[in-house]
Structure 1
Amino acid sequence: MKIINPKIKEDCFNNEEWLLTNGIGGYAYSPLASHHTKAYNGLLIASLAPPTMRYNVLNQLDERVVIDGKSYNLESYQYDDHIEDNTALIKEVIVDDFVTYRYEIGNVYIDKTITLVHGENTVAINYHVVSNNHQVNLFFTPYFSLRDHAARCNKATIPCFSVHERHLSLIPLNHKDVLIRTYMNTGVFNKETNIKDNLYYAFDCVTGYKELDALYSPGYYNVMMSDQETKDISFVCTLDDANRTAREYLFDEVKRKAMLVNTKDPIKVRLEKIADQFIVDRKSTKNKSIIAGYPWFSDWGRDTLIALEGLTLVTKRFDDAKSIILTFAKTIHHGLVVNLFEDGTNKPRYNTADASLWFIHACYMYEQYSHDTDFITKEVYPHLKEIISAYIRGTDHAIYMDDDFLIHAGDNEDQITWMDVYTHGKAITPRHGKPVELNALWYNALMIMAYFSNKTDHDESYGLIAKRTKKSFADKFWCEETQCLYDVVEPNDSSIRPNQLYALSLPFPVISFELGKKMLKVVDEKLYAKTGIRSLAYDDPRYIGHYEGNLDKRDLAYHMGTSWAYLMGPYIRAHVLLDEDKSQARELLQPLLETLDQNCINGINEIFDGDAPHTPRGTVNQAWSVGELLVAYEMSRI
C-alpha cells in the first residue's frame, strides 16, 4: 500500500501516477491527483476484443460539492490556455488494490474509491460522504471520450443516449456495437449536454503529439444529503451486465487479490499483486496471455515468454502459465512463434527470430517449477520439435542453421531481434548475421530438447548439435579487443551491448566462467546503470543517454544507450552464478525496487535514461521488467 500526503510531498502530483487493470486488457490510468497529461488517461479504458482494441470510454467523473451553499470542484483540468487546479482539497491518496482519494472540506469528509472489476469492462466508484452538520449537495457529471485509447478528438464524439431513472445508456456513433451503461444507487439524473474541449495533455505535447482533446457528457447525477447523514454513493460505468454496488465490487477485488499472495514477505506480496496486472484472457485463442506493458502495448510473444517465469512460475500460477504456453503453441507458423497480435485485428505477426527459442526456454522453466512433465512431453513437445526442425532447414526472415551449427537471421530491413526499432522504412539496429543472444538461446534450446528427448523419443541429435554449437560459439564470439563477446558475428560487430549476458545467464551457459568473469567486468563498467542495463556502452560514439523528444528522436535512442529494467534479470543471474553472493544481488536490485514508489505507483517502467539520474521512461508498467525483478528478488531471498 502506498499513501501519499500532499502536505508532506507537495510535488507528488506532478510526476506520479496510478494504474488499475481488469484482466482482459482494459485499464484505468491517471496522474496521482492532477489533471490528465496523456490521451491514455481515463477511468475506464475498455478492451473490445480482449486483450486488444482498447477504447477510452469514461474519461472523468467530474464531482462538484456544494456545502451550505458554497461550491467546490474536486477534479482538475488543463486546457490550451489555462489550468483548473483543485488538488488543494485532497488530503491524501491511497494506492493499493484500488485507489482512494480522501477529500477534506472544512469538516465534511469524502472518500472516493475507484475499483476495476476483474474480467469485465466495468469501473466502480464508491463515495463515502460524512456531512457533519452541513447541508451537502453533490453533482456527478460523467465525461466520455469514446475514442481509441491512443487517439485524441478535436471535436467531442456525440452518442445516442437514453435515461431510465438513474440508469444512463449510450451507443457511440463511431462504435455502434458498443453499449455503455452508467448507474447510481441514489440521486436523480438530469439531462444537460456538456462539452469540455481544448483539453491539453502536457506529456503528449512533450513527446510530439500536440492535438487537443474533447469530452462529452449528456448530463449529471444529483445527490442531496441532510446535515446529519453518512452515505455511500455508488457509481458504476460498464459495457457488461454489471448490477452490483461499487462497495460489493471493491470487496470482491480485495478478496481476489488476497488469494494471489503466496508469501508474507511485503516486497514479494507487492510484486505478486503487480504481476497480476499483466495476465489477461486472449479471446482469439481462448487461453491466457500477457500484456507487454501499459498503457499502449498488447501481448507480444517475446515479452510474454521472457516475463512468464517471474509472473506465473515464481508466483505459483501454474495453470496460467500452462494456458499462456498453449496460446503461443497454437499460433506457431513455419516454426516461428508469434511476435505480436496486431491491436484491432488480432492478426499474428511473425517478425522475430528469438521468440521461438524463448518459447522452448519457457516450457523448460515451466517443467522445472511445476514438475508437470506430462504436459510438456505429451502436448507441447511436438511443437518444440517443429521449431528446431524449421531452424535447422531454414525458415522465414533468413533464419537458418549455418554449416558451423550457429543460427543466422535477418536480411534486408528485417528487425527480428528484441532491438527492433523500425522507422521511415529502415531498421535502426538490424543486427543481421549471427546475434549473440540468439545463439546462446539456440544452444539452450538444443540442450532443453536433449533433456525432453530423454523422456520421450530418445533422439540423440539434439545433444550432438548442441556440442558443435558450443564449440563454434567459443571459437567465434570472443572479442579479445573488448574483452567481451561480439554482439553479432559474420559480419562481426564488437559493439558492447547487454545481449552477451544471455551467454552466461541462461540455464545452460555457453561460455566458460573464466571468460564470463571478464565479460561481466566490462558490463559492470560500461552498461550497469542502477535501475537497468544500458543497451549500448556509454563511451560508444553512437551512445544516446537520454530518451526524450518526439518519436523519431526517441526511436534513435531506444537501443542506443537507453537503460532497460528487464535486463537486470540476466545481469543478476550472471552475478549470482559467478560470485555466489546473493547479498550482492539484493544490493543491485535496491535502486530498481525503489522505483515502485516513483513514477507509476506499484509499477516498474520499461526503460530509463542511460545517463543519471536515470529518469523513468517508456511504458509505466512493463511485464518483463516486473517478471525479471520477481525472479531476481526470489533468487536473492533463497
Structure 2
Amino acid sequence: MNYLEFDKNKLVNLSFSLTHELLRANRSGSFATTTLVFCNTRKYHGLLITPQPLIDDEMHVLVSSIDPTIIQHDTEFHLGVHRYPGGIYSPKGHKYIRDLKIDAIPKTTFRVGGVVFSRESVFVSNADRVLIKYTVEECNSPTTIRLQPFLAFRQRHKLSKANNFVDKTYKKSQNGVNFKLYQGYTPVHFQFSKEVEYIHTPAWYYNVEYLEELNRGYDYLEDLFVPGYFEFKLKKGESIVLSAGTKEVNPKGLKRQFTAEKNHRVYRSSFKNNLINAAEQFIQKRDGRTEIVAGYPWFGVWGRDTFISLPGLTLSIGKPELAKAILDTMSKRLSGPLFPNLGSDNDASYNSIDAPLWYFWAIQQYVYKTGKYKEAWTNYGKKMSVILEGYKNGTEYNIKMLENGLISGGIDGKALTWMDAIAEGKPVTQRKGMPVEINVLWYNAIMFFIELVNKSKAKVPISEWESVAEKIPQSFTEVFWDNEKGYLADYVDGEYKNWDIRPN
C-alpha cells in the first residue's frame, strides 16, 4: 500500500479527480501541474512551465500536455482528456486509468484490453526539462504508441488564441524534433531514448475549456497548437523515456538520468516524508540566486512569504546551509530599509512594512538553530542596522517610529501588511496606522538585535535601542489592550481603534 494512492473508482469520477491536482518542480524555477487525470482545468496547468528571460520576468506555459494513444489491430485508444464548451470531454482517456500511485514520483497505470501501460514523470534537477517514462507492462500483441504534444507558448496569466504568427515548422534534434512557436522563446526539444517516427500535421485545437477559470470568472477558452505526433512500437516490458526541455541533450543517457532523478527524490513513505517532498518544491536555485516561491501556480518570489516560510522549509528538515543561501540572496535586495514585497530588480514593489521585520525573525531562527551569532552579525548586522535606523527616522510609505517607540505606517491607496488584496485599485483592508503584529515584530527585531550584538561581541552602541525597548511593552499595552473587551485592537490610527478579530 502506497502512502498516496488513488484507485480507478476515484479517478473515473471527474468531480473528484478534477478537483485534486499534482505539482512537480525542478528546484530552479520550472514546474508542471495538472489534475490527477491530466485534464487541465486552469490556465496555469501545464507539463512544462518555465521562465523565458528574453521575453519578461514571468513564467510561461510552453507545453500544455502530451496525449498518449495506444494502437492495437488498427484500433486507437486515446488516453488524453480535454474539456470543451458544453461540458464535453474529448477524448475520455480517464476511463482507462487503473490507478495512480505516488511514491518518489507519480506513476499512472492505464489498462486497455490486454494492454497495461504506465506513465511516470520527473523533472531534471536544476534544468528546464521534464522526463516522462512510458512502459508497456503487459500486452498480447504488437503495440504502437502515439504521443501528441499540445503547445501553448504563452505567459501563464494569459491564454493562447489561434493566429497567423505561429511558426508551424520544426527542426530536427537527436532522436526527436524541436519547436519554437514565436520569436523570443527558447525552443522545446522533444527527444527520445530510442529512435521514433515524427509525423508533421500542424493544426490548432480550438476552445479548450478551463473549468476553474470559468468558475472564477476569468477568460477560460484557449486554442492550443498541435504540430504533429510521434509514433513508436514497444514490446511487453519495454520502456521509452521522453525528454521535453529547452536545451538539446544526448538521448543515450535519458534512461539512466530518469533513474538517477527518481532515486534522488524523497520517497513518500510517511506523512513526514510527504512534507519534506512538498517543501523541496518551493525552493528554486537559478542564476546564482536561491529563492522561495511564495506559492503555486501563480505566485513568484515574495519577501514577506520568504522570511516567514524559510525556517519551516529549510531549518526544520536539517538544511541550515540552504537557509543561509536564501538569506544571502534576499539580503542583496534590501533597498534602504525595505525589502521587495514582490518582484525583483527594476520590477520590484516595496510596499511591505513587515518584510524587513520578518527578516530579523528568520535570521533569529537561523541563529538559534546553528548557534552562529558571530557569523550572522558579520553577514547581516549592517543590513539590520539600516532597517532599524530607517524605521526609527522614517522612510517610504510614511513608515516611522513614534515617540512612544511604536511603529506606524501607511499612505492612501497602499496596503502595507499581509492583508494587501486590491479591488478596483483600492486596498480591501488597508490597516493604516499602527498594526498590532507589526509592533510585535518591531519589538522582537530590537530585542534580537541587542542579543546578537552582545553575543557576537560586536562593537556597536546599543544603549539607544535598549531605551526604545524599555518603552515598548507599556506603550503597546496602552495603545492596543482593552480590559473590557479582553483582547488587542487589530490596528490603531490616531484616535481610531479597529477591533475586528483577525489572525494577526
Question: Please, what TM-score do these two structures have when normalized by structure 2?
Answer: 0.92
More strand by share: 2
CA contact (8 A) 2:100 2:107 kept: yes
Measured in 1, the distance between the counterparts of 2:245 and 2:199 equals 19
Closer/same/farther in 2, CA of residues 257 and 164 from structure 1, 3 Å limit: closer
- CA-to-aligned-CA distance 1:407-463 (integer Å, 9 cap, x gap): 001021121000001222211111011000000000000100110111212523222
How far did residue 101 of structure 1 move? 1.1
Question: Is 1:224 aligned to 2:228, yes or no?
Answer: no
Measured in 1, the distance between the counterparts of 2:43 and 2:383 equals 41
The equivalent residue for 2:101 is 94
Which of 441, 449, 463 pairs up with 2:466?
463
Measured in 1, the distance between the counterparts of 2:119 and 2:286 equals 32
Measured in 2, the distance between the counterparts of 1:237 and 1:257 equals 19
Closer/same/farther in 2, CA of residues 104 and 25 from structure 1, 3 Å limit: same
Q: Which moved more, 1:96-105 or 1:117-126?
A: 96-105
Please give the secondary structure, in 1, of the residue aligned with 2:497: coil
* Map 1:285-434 → 2, pairs under 5 A: 286-341=288-343, 347-434=347-434
How far did residue 270 of structure 1 move? 1.5
Measured in 1, the distance between the counterparts of 2:269 and 2:149 equals 40
Closer/same/farther in 2, CA of residues 255 and 86 from structure 1, 3 Å limit: closer
How far did residue 397 of structure 1 move? 0.4
The equivalent residue for 1:113 is 120
Q: Which moved more, 1:459-468 or 1:415-424?
A: 459-468
Structure 1 gap ranges (5+): 500-638
CA contact (8 A) 1:479 1:494 kept: no
Please give the secondary structure, in 2, of the residue aligned with 1:340: coil
CA contact (8 A) 1:409 1:433 kept: yes
CA contact (8 A) 1:107 1:132 kept: yes
Measured in 1, the distance between the counterparts of 2:321 and 2:367 equals 12
How far did residue 293 of structure 1 move? 0.1
Which of 217, 230, 246 pairs up with 1:208?
217
The equivalent residue for 2:130 is 123
Percent identical among aligned pairs is 25
Which of 14, 24, 45 pairs up with 2:18?
14
Closer/same/farther in 2, CA of residues 165 and 55 from structure 1, 3 Å limit: same
Closer/same/farther in 2, CA of residues 444 and 225 from structure 1, 3 Å limit: closer
Please give the secondary structure, in 2, of the residue aligned with 1:476: helix
1:181 alignment partner AA: H
Which of 136, 158, 177 pairs up with 1:168?
177
Which of 180, 187, 197 pairs up with 1:179?
187
How far did residue 480 of structure 1 move? 2.9
Which of 75, 83, 92 pairs up with 2:89?
83
Closer/same/farther in 2, CA of residues 41 and 265 from structure 1, 3 Å limit: closer
The equivalent residue for 2:199 is 190
Please give the secondary structure, in 1, of the residue aligned with 2:265: helix
1:248 alignment partner AA: R
- CA-to-aligned-CA distance 1:310-355 (integer Å, 9 cap, x gap): 001111211111111112211111211121115xx76222111000
CA contact (8 A) 2:18 2:39 kept: no
How far did residue 49 of structure 1 move? 4.0
Which of 76, 79, 90 pairs up with 1:74?
79
Number of residues of Structure 1 aligned to a counterpart in Structure 2 = 488
Measured in 2, the distance between the counterparts of 1:400 and 1:252 equals 53
Structure 2 gap ranges (5+): none
Please give the secondary structure, in 2, of the residue aligned with 1:230: coil
Measured in 2, the distance between the counterparts of 1:140 and 1:384 equals 55
1:83 alignment partner AA: Y
CA contact (8 A) 1:186 1:233 kept: no
Measured in 2, the distance between the counterparts of 1:88 and 1:265 equals 28
Please give the secondary structure, in 1, of the residue aligned with 2:398: coil
2:131 alignment partner AA: A
Measured in 2, the distance between the counterparts of 1:130 and 1:405 equals 70
1:65 alignment partner AA: I
* Map 1:550-629 → 2, pairs under 5 A: none
Show structure 1 runs of 4+ deviating over 6 A.
Answer: none
Please give the secondary structure, in 2, of the residue aligned with 1:62: strand
- CA-to-aligned-CA distance 1:288-314 (integer Å, 9 cap, x gap): 110000000001000000000100111
Measured in 1, the distance between the counterparts of 2:259 and 2:139 equals 26
How far did residue 52 of structure 1 move? 4.8
1:113 alignment partner AA: E
Which of 44, 47, 63 pairs up with 1:58?
63
Closer/same/farther in 2, CA of residues 49 and 23 from structure 1, 3 Å limit: farther
- CA-to-aligned-CA distance 1:493-533 (integer Å, 9 cap, x gap): 1111111xxxxxxxxxxxxxxxxxxxxxxxxxxxxxxxxxx
Q: Which moved more, 1:431-440 or 1:231-240?
A: 231-240
Measured in 2, the distance between the counterparts of 1:155 and 1:481 equals 64
CA contact (8 A) 2:64 2:150 kept: yes
CA RMSD for the aligned pairs? 2.1
Question: Is 1:483 aligned to 2:486, yes or no?
Answer: yes
Which of 264, 277, 292 pairs up with 1:256?
264
Question: Please, what TM-score do these two structures have when normalized by structure 1?
Answer: 0.73
How far did residue 177 of structure 1 move? 4.3
The equivalent residue for 1:584 is none
Closer/same/farther in 2, CA of residues 444 and 172 from structure 1, 3 Å limit: same
CA contact (8 A) 2:174 2:250 kept: no
- CA-to-aligned-CA distance 1:524-559 (integer Å, 9 cap, x gap): xxxxxxxxxxxxxxxxxxxxxxxxxxxxxxxxxxxx
Please give the secondary structure, in 1, of the residue aligned with 2:152: strand
